[in-house]
Amino acid sequence: GKSAEHITKAPSEYLKSLYFDTVVHDHAALDYLIRYFGHDHVVVGTDHQPVPLRDRQAQQAVANRATDQ
């Protein structure tokens, strides 16, 4: 279709511009995001209004997995 005419890269290349938050409610899902997309594409997220960053568990999970890579 016409959309394909505007794609200049492989679809997998566009994934490199996406970022994901840690609000996944499942450790396996968080592990997958970090493993597949890289720890530098996973950010600490919240479903609440802006609050001081206090989700130390999510921060530590991303940090731990980053050192494993």
For residue range 13-40, what is the model confidence (pLDDT) as tens digits?
A: 888 899 999 888 888 998 999 999 998 9
For the chain, the residue count is 69
Residue 2's contacts (CB-CB under 8 Å, 6 or more residues apart) are none
Query: Average pLDDT, stretch 32-49?
Result: 85
Query: Average pLDDT, stretch 5-14?
Result: 86
pTM for the model: 0.59
- Assign 45 to helix, strand or coil: coil
Report the alpha-carbon distance of residue 22 to residue 8 in Å, rounded.
30
